Amino acid sequence: MALILTFLGKGGSGRSTCAIATAKKLSDQGQRVLLLSEDAGPGFGMLLEREVDIAPTAVAPNLWAVQLQFVKLLEQNWEQLKKLEAQYLRDPFFKAVYGQELSLLPGMDQALTLNALREYDLSGDYDVIVHDGPGDQASLRMWGMPAGIDWYFRRFKQVFQASQFSKAVMPFLQPLAGAVLSGGSGDLFAQPAVQQGSGFVGQGIAAVKDPMRVRAYLVSSGDDMAMATARYLWGAAQQIELTVAGVLLNRAEAIARFEPLSTYGLPAYTGDWQPLIEALPDYTSRPSVPASIDIDLATSTVRLFLPSFDKKQIQLTQYGPEVTIEAGDQRRNLALPQALQGRSVTGAKFQSGYLILSFG
């Protein structure tokens, strides 16, 4: 399994430059590195000073680069979907639709990028994958996608199975499913394809939570807007439990606006990569940062680390079986341990960047 590094920050703050310098640093240390860019335009190749293709291209010893093209990725993934459909359905109906016809819909690029990262990780060809993405709220939605899919599946499965409609139609639906499906039982939720998908989702959730599997760094220049954007993304990343391990301050003094994160002042890139490479952090060590969530069963409390937000920007609701936290444009459903499940929140306070919940 590879370590995946990604970068968050305002456009123009130097994320792509930091990604390339990071890839060079790690490949120079003997790590097998894949540098993956979501930018289909010419800028990435010009900055790298090499032509980059949609397949990994060797650009230096231990270093490969790939430039995603989402139309091609959509075609490839559609063919995989058709093969899966043919495996489980007696009469596949997607076989008459071709990937070359499909257009990209909003959000597809995030799902395709996440799947590409998963496949490159599973290949075992790389020790580190350096991800150069948009670095904004769209990137956070991508990293939060596994947890979101898991919640939708669990919640709607629970609602469906408990409904009178489910109890009425299941005696008819199961024989029908058995006739349509090429194997297995009539239980749609127990189908191998569904179980495999659930396994992929669980692996994605675990990877995002593990700083030695997926890790983000904030990138900011010295202007106030870039700083404010980086701080907002830091807080939003905590909502999906993505570890933010440090701040790369490009063309700025290392200041205390991001404590307790480690900050690294970077020199401007002037055509020589070495000064920038030397200023980057040690990516091989486990970062020492606050956990996004801390649960204390002895006191029945949950502490959520939400830096850059204040109490006016946070909403707490408990309509369903889980507690929902809304901060900024991110919504998080807390997966509570069994000892706290079904218990109501009796107190909430915001203190030193932490939202502290008490359960009755």
Q: Specify the CATH superfamily of domain 1-287.
A: P-loop containing nucleotide triphosphate hydrolases (3.40.50.300)
What does the alpha-carbon distance between residue 155 and residue 106 come to, in Å, rounded to a whole number? 24
CB 82 within 8 A of CB 175: no
* Residue 130 Rama label (left phi>0; alpha psi -120 to 50; beta): beta
64-111 confidence digits (pLDDT tens): 999 999 888 888 888 877 776 676 666 676 777 877 887 878 888 999
Residue 58: partners with Cβ closer than 8 Å, 6 or more residues away:
64
CB 35 within 8 A of CB 23: yes
What does the alpha-carbon distance between residue 200 and residue 218 come to, in Å, rounded to a whole number? 27
Same-fold call for 1-287 versus 293-359:
no
CB 19 within 8 A of CB 283: no
Phi/psi for 39 (5° steps) reads -85, 110
Report the side by side order of strands in the sheet with 57-60. Answer: 57-60, 63-67, 33-37, 128-132, 3-8, 214-220, 244-250, 262-266
Average the pLDDT over 239-267 and give the result: 86
| pLDDT score, position 86 | 73
| pLDDT score, position 144 | 93
262-272 confidence digits (pLDDT tens): 999 999 888 89
- 242-257 burial, b at 16+ Cβ within 10 Å, e below that, comes to bbbbbbbbbbbeeeee
Domains of the chain, by residue range, sit at 1-287, 293-359
pLDDT at 201 over 90: no
Average the pLDDT over 229-237 and give the result: 95
**In terms of pLDDT, which residue wins out, 23 or 179?**
23
CB 297 within 8 A of CB 341: no
pLDDT at 60 over 90: yes
pLDDT at 191 over 70: no
Average the pLDDT over 276-280 and give the result: 96
> pTM of this prediction?
0.88
pLDDT at 330 over 80: yes
| pLDDT score, position 255 | 62
| pLDDT score, position 121 | 96
Across 56-60, 149-153, 176-180, least confident range = 176-180
**In terms of pLDDT, which residue wins out, 183 or 286?**
286
| pLDDT score, position 282 | 96
| Average pLDDT score, the chain | 86
Residue 200: partners with Cβ closer than 8 Å, 6 or more residues away:
118, 146
CATH 2.60.40.790 at 293-359, yes or no: yes
pLDDT at 253 over 70: no
Residue 187: both structure tokens together: 């239980």
Structural Rg of the chain based on CA atoms: 23
**In terms of pLDDT, which residue wins out, 201 or 357?**
357
